């Protein structure tokens, strides 16, 4: 027997062990990715049909095998269409894990980091907006390209300042509706439309602004800051998780942590750590 676990009728080698391990890791990653979304139920449905197909094939039920076989043959294509967002997120996390983004900067002759981004103006603007119950939605681009969403709004390419952020979200401003997108340490665009989450677990009390913030972070690695018009609460969203009603110090530290962490590994922006106020 060549393998580490000699079983009479099975030749189970190191390669098989690695194979099983990798498939386990892959399935676990898939589960983590789909957890909490309707896609998990769809995936379970597809897996059940596949298992049923294997059983009817093994028992020789020809008609059912044929029907399910037809279904399975289009299954791959259907899965790609059904799971486009999840596949996108998966590939994004693989890309980040392989640290390709880190080397991309010098490899393609681009600067590894953009102009420094300070979280101060965002924290200060969020505080003011919150005190006045003015809604806001600010998306910080990281490794994922937010250009397609920025293009849905009005291009600004402006220097970041608290005053500009307050002007944009002022209720009388023609730019206040929609999201602001921050890329490369600049306000790239305002009035942008971002994808709304379809996760049924998002509390019904949350309106479209918060759902949109969650939605963008489900399909990209952006960090999103939300100020609620209704309650004045300031929240952050990252990787599909909403961190609600944050005090200023926590808002600042989380922004510093998340943007600094990825700023070091992505080519989109570097960040000046901010001391707590």
Ligand X SMILES: Nc1ncnc2c1ncn2[C@@H]1O[C@H](COP(=O)(O)OP(=O)(O)OP(=O)(O)O)[C@@H](O)[C@H]1O
Q: Pick from 23, 52, 193, 276 the residue near ligand X by CB under 6 A.
A: 193
Question: Three-state DSSP class for 44?
Answer: helix
What whole-number distance in Å separates Cα of residue 121 and Cα of residue 140? 13
Minimum distance between the CB of residue 233 and ligand X, rounded to whole angstroms?
A: 7
Of 19, 157, 159, 230, the one binding ligand X (CB under 6 A) is 230
Q: Considering beta carbons, is residue 186 or 244 the nearer one to ligand X?
A: 244
Residue 277 makes contact with ligand X by CB under 6 A: no
Which range in 92-100, 118-126, 201-209, 255-263 contacts ligand X by CB under 6 A?
A: 201-209
89 counts as binding ligand X under rule CB under 6 A: no
Q: Does 179 bind ligand X (CB under 6 A)?
A: yes
Nearer to ligand X, 50 or 133 (CB): 133
- Residue 188 sits in the site that holds ligand X (CB under 6 A): no
Residues near 58 by beta carbon (within 8 Å), at least 6 away in sequence = none
Backbone angles phi, psi at 235, to 5 degrees: -130, 160
245 lies in the site for ligand X, by CB under 6 A:
no
Helices 100-107 and 84-97 cross at an angle (nearest 10°) of 70
CA distances from residue 78 to 31, 118, 132, 258, 267 in whole angstroms, order as listed: 19, 44, 47, 35, 34
| Distance, CA of 96 to CA of 221 (rounded, Å) | 10
The binding site for ligand X (CB under 6 A) comprises 135, 137, 177-179, 193-194, 196, 206-210, 212, 228-230
């Amino acid at each position: 027997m060549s393998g580490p676990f000699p079983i009479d009728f099975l030749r189970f080698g190191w390669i098989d062990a690695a194979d099983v391990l990798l498939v386990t890791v892959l399935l676990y990653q898939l589960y983590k990715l789909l957890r909490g979304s309707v896609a998990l139920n769809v995936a379970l449905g597809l897996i059940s049909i596949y298992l049923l197909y294997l059983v009817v094939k093994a028992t020789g039920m020809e008609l059912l095998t044929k029907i399910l076989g037809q279904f399975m043959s289009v299954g791959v294509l259907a899965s790609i269409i059904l799971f486009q967002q999840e596949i996108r997120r998966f590939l994004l996390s693989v890309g980040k894990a392989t640290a390709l983004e880190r080397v991309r900067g010098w490899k393609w002759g681009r600067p590894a980091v953009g102009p420094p981004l300070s979280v101060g103006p965002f924290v200060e603007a969020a505080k003011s907006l919150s005190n006045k119950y003015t809604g806001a939605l600010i998306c910080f681009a990281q490794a994922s390209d937010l250009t397609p969403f920025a293009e849905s709004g009005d291009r600004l390419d402006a220097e970041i300042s608290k005053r500009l952020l307050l002007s944009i979200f002022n209720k009388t401003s023609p730019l206040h509706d929609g999201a602001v997108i921050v890329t490369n340490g600049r306000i790239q665009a305002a009035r942008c439309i971002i994808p709304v989450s379809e996760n049924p677990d998002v509390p019904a009390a949350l309106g479209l602004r918060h759902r949109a913030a969650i939605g963008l972070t489900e399909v990209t690695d952006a960090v999103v800051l939300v100020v609620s018009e209704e309650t004045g609460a300031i929240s952050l969203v990252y990787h599909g998780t909403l961190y609600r009603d944050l005090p200023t110090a926590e808002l600042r530290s989380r922004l510093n942590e998340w943007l600094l962490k990825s700023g070091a590994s992505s080519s989109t922006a570097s960040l000046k750590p901010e001391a707590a106020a």
